[in-house]
Amino acid sequence: MNIKPLLSLVALSLLSGSAAAMGPHELLVLANENSEGSVTIARRYMEWRRIPPSNLVLLKLPAPYAEGQTGMGLDEFKRLILNPASKAVRQRGIDDHILAWVYSTGFPTRIDTPERISILGATFLRGEPPVAEAILKAQYASPLFAGPEWLRGTISAPQTFDQYAKWINRDMPLPSMMLGYTGERGNTGEEVASALWKGVQSDRTHPTGTVYFVTTGDKRSPCREWQYEGAKRELAQKGVAAVVTASFPEGKRDVLGLMTGTASVKPGRVKGYVPGSLAEHLTSFAGAFEQASQSKMSLWIRDGATLSAGTVTEPRAMYHKFPTARFYVYYAQGCTAIESFYQALRCPLQILLLGDPLASPWAVSDEVVLAELPVAPVSVPFVVSALLKRSDPMRFYSRYLWLVDGRVVGEGKRLQIETAGLTPGAHQLRVVAYSTGLVRHQIFAVEEFTVQ
């Protein structure tokens, strides 16, 4: 896989230290060590997103998975993926702040339980899925789902994962996404990298594109049509344009989102997808890459969308198993892509989500700066402080978290950094400032210091 042309696009000075809601230090990245492409994409994504090196877990999967094998047994999933990754998180001392996982390429997409689920569904419930009937009939209800369950049903305000973790505590599930799929009927490594870079580009852009809710005569379309008008009204309140239409946005160059229900799509008819865009079509097998029938979600990624979604097995046209139209509402209120997805999924057990989990077009433009960081090598403790540069004087920050080499070392606007336990050489210091509110915006700064 060759993604070198993309590398010239990136300079560290262009990589923002802002994140809407969930931050890079809270994301664990998993790569298949037996797939060069998997490791390359994972490392490049971590560089673009400034994810701590300690947040990368390399796993050795059997050769067929590097080549695109889609299915894996539940016991094998636990033995080869879930258990070793969880162990690595604990051993590295980063388990106190990891809130979500993201899989690179080279992983299975489906876990073969009595009623098949996606690898994301297996991760969400930490390898303990409910009985087959609960999966089949979408009886499992995610604690992260923010509604509605029916027309004019109850809806909840958007929240960030750290807020959910406080309320749910020990029962907090483990959300995840996949950076891309490069097996048969999937994307090329270059297409995956391009979509991820678009996610990075989307941050803080507050895009002016349009969300298209497209109705069709297909039997799959009514499944979500009842959600469209309500989402359109909520988006209008945030200044985001949305239309409910029976016409595919052919030739349009402003597609911020596209949601429809049909078995076959031609995403290339759209002439321009806005960076950060989610485009998907509700159908049975958009994420079942081993099957030739129906259009695959990878087509949206190939033709320019940043994010897409599809089920890995027959979902029986139940809206509960697909993102609701309110995805765009959570997104427009500052949540990241992964937070928006999971608040829009009532039963996220058979879904596959592709793209940049940290994409955040409505991120804030505030900054935090590290002050008093020593330039010369140090051998004794030193004090550092965090300085804010706010675009909105009425936005307040109530928490400052400090990490050295990916591990939490303290909180507060000023902190003494101990050097006694650090090895000689370079170390990474990160400060993360959290705003108040249910959607807790994060801003961060990363610098290096040297221990003698």
Average pLDDT, the chain: 95
CB 127 within 8 A of CB 78: yes
Average pLDDT over residues 420-441: 97
Q: What percent of the chain is predicted at pLDDT more than 90? A: 93
Look up residue 30 and give its two tokens: 């998993």
Q: Range(s) for CATH 2.60.40.10 in the chain?
A: 367-451
pLDDT of residue 6: 47
User: What pTM does this model have?
Assistant: 0.95
Q: Per-residue pLDDT for 8 more than 90?
A: no
Instruction: Report pLDDT digits (tens) over 21-64.
Output: 899 999 999 999 999 999 999 999 999 999 999 999 999 999 99
CA–CA dist 76, 32 (Å, integer): 15
pLDDT of residue 3: 56
Backbone phi and psi for residue 31, each to the nearest 5 degrees, phi listed first = -130, 150
Instruction: Report pLDDT digits (tens) over 365-403.
Output: 999 999 999 999 999 999 999 999 999 999 999 999 999
Instruction: Report pLDDT digits (tens) over 213-252.
Output: 999 998 999 999 999 999 999 999 999 999 999 999 999 9
Angle subtended by helix axes 36-49 and 189-202, to nearest 10: 10
Instruction: Report pLDDT digits (tens) over 61-109.
Output: 999 999 999 999 999 999 999 999 999 999 999 999 999 999 999 999 9
Average pLDDT over residues 255-262: 98
- Residue for token pair 């993309």: 6
CB 400 within 8 A of CB 411: yes
* Domain covering 367-451 in this structure, CATH number: 2.60.40.10
CA–CA dist 136, 406 (Å, integer): 40
Average pLDDT over residues 298-319: 97
Among 312, 341, 306, CA closest to 108: 312
Q: Per-residue pLDDT for 15 more than 60?
A: no
